[in-house]
Amino acid sequence: MTSSFKVIAETEPGGRRAQLHLPHQTVQTPVFMPVGTAGTVKAVPQDTLESLGAEIILGNTYHLYLRPGHETIHRLGGLHRFISWPHGLLTDSGGFQVFSLSGLRKVSDEGVRFRSHLDGSSHFFTPEHSMDVQIALGADIAMAFDECTEYPADRSRAEESLRLTMAWARRSLDHFRAHRSQVVWRDEFEGRTQSLFGIVQGGMYSDLRRECAARLVEMDFDGYAIGGLSVGEPRALTLEMIAEVLPLLPADKPRYVMGVGYPDEIEQYARLGVDMMDCVLPTRAARHGLLFTSEGRLNIKAKRYAEDQSAPDPACNCPVCRRYTRAYLRHLMQAGEPLSGTLNTIHNLAYYFAVMQRVRQSLNP
C-alpha cells in the first residue's frame, strides 16, 4: 500500500475534487505545492507554511543530493525529519534540474553525466541511482527519472527524448518496486511506503504525448505527471498539451502538471481536472518584489507605493496583508532587508492557496 486517491466530486469539463491519502498527510486536491528546493521553501519557516495551510511541499533531488547529500539525510532519519516537516513531501527525479542548471551534461542510454553547479565536480545519474537517492530522501511521492525535452525541439529530437524517457520510466519503476520498502519511516506507517509517479513527455507533439501517456499507463504507476511544459512555449500550446493528455490518464489516479504557473493558469488547469501543480513562480517572484493580488500583479518596488498605507492586497486575509502596508513592504525591499523576501513570499503563497481553496469549494458536492 502506497497512497490512495479518492474522488469526491466531479464537474464538466473534467474538474474534480479529491483527497490524496499519503503516509504523512491527507492532501485536499486540487492542490498547489510550494517548491522547497534545498529543504526549505525559501524565506518561509515550516510553522508558517503550516499556518498558511500547506499540506505538501517539494524537495529537489538534484540540490539535496549535492548538498547535504542523500546519505546524510537518510542517516538523519529522512527528509521529513531532517527539515521537520511531518506532512506531505514530493521529490522530483533530478532530471529537470540537470536539464536546466547543468551547463555540461552528456546524455546516453545509460543515464546523464553532469557537473555540479556548486563545485564543478562530475556526477552520473541513472534511473536506478535517482530512485536510490529518492528512496533515501524518503518523500511520500517520488518521480520517475525522465529526460525533459527543450522548447523548441524538432520532431527527431522529441522522438529521441521520448525513447529515453520511456526506457528510463521502466527502469525507474522496476528499481523502485524492488527497493521502496527500504524507506526509513516505513515501520511508523504500518508498512505503507512511497509512491512513484510516471512523467509524460513528448515535447509539443500531440501524438508523441499520447503515445507516451498510453505506455506509462500500461506500466501502472501510482500517479501521472505531465512534464516538459512551461519551458518557453506559448501558453496556448501548454493548454493544448494538457488537454490532449488528461483524458488518457486513469481517472482513479492523481494527475500532476509540473512547473505551472500563474494564478489564472493554475485555476484553469485545476478546472480541467489537474489535481496537483507546483511552481517556483510565487516564491521566486516574491523575492524580486512581484506580488500577485486580486487587483493583478503589483511591483512593490514602484515609487508610487512609497507612502501607500493600504494593505498589499486589500482583499487578502493573509497575516502580511492584515498587518503591514505597501509602504513598509516597499521600504524593506529598498533597504535589502531579509524580512522583505519572507513577507512577500508569505503573501504570494497565501494568494495561491486562496485560489486553490476557491476552486476546491466550487468543486465541492
Just list the catalytic residues. 92, 278
Q: Is 326 in the site for Zn ion (CB under 5 A)?
A: no
Pick the binder of Zn ion from 44, 204, 298, 316 (CB under 5 A). 316
Q: Which amino acid is at 250?
A: P
User: Which stretch, 2-10, 179-187, 189-197, 344-352, contacts Zn ion (CB under 5 A)?
Assistant: 344-352
Closest CA to 32 of 64, 5, 58, 62: 58
By beta-carbon proximity to Zn ion, the closer residue of 42 and 170 is 42
Residue spans of alpha helices (H) in 9-59? 46-52
How do 105-107 and 112-115 pair as beta strands? antiparallel
Greatest CA separation for the chain? 61
The site for Zn ion, by CB under 5 A, has a size of 7
Closest CA to 190 of 362, 10, 21: 21
Side chain identity, residue 134:
Q
C-alpha cell at 323: 498587518
Closest CB to Zn ion among residues 16, 347:
347
Span 125-154, contacts to Zn ion by CB under 5 A: none
Should residue 192 be labelled a site residue for Zn ion when binding is judged by CB under 5 A?
A: no
> Is residue 354 within the footprint of Zn ion (CB under 5 A)?
no
- Rounded to a whole number of angstroms, the minimum distance from the CB of residue 333 to Zn ion is 16
Rounded-to-integer distance, Cα 33 and Cα 231, Å:
19
Q: What angle do CA 149, 217, 165 make, to 5 degrees?
A: 25
Return the residue of 318, 349, 355, 363 that touches Zn ion, per CB under 5 A. Answer: 318
Q: Cβ closer to Zn ion: 303 or 322?
A: 322
Cis peptide before 254 (omega within 30 of 0): no
Residue closer to Zn ion (CB basis): 172 or 345:
345
**Does residue 347 touch Zn ion according to CB under 5 A?**
yes
Note whether 285 binds Zn ion by CB under 5 A: no
Q: Alpha carbon of 35 to those of 61, 96, 107: distances in Å?
A: 12, 14, 26
Considering beta carbons, is residue 63 or 330 the nearer one to Zn ion?
330
Provide, rounded to whole angstroms, the least separation between the CB of residue 313 and Zn ion: 5
Interacting residue ranges for Zn ion, rule: CB under 5 A: 313, 316, 318, 320-321, 347, 350
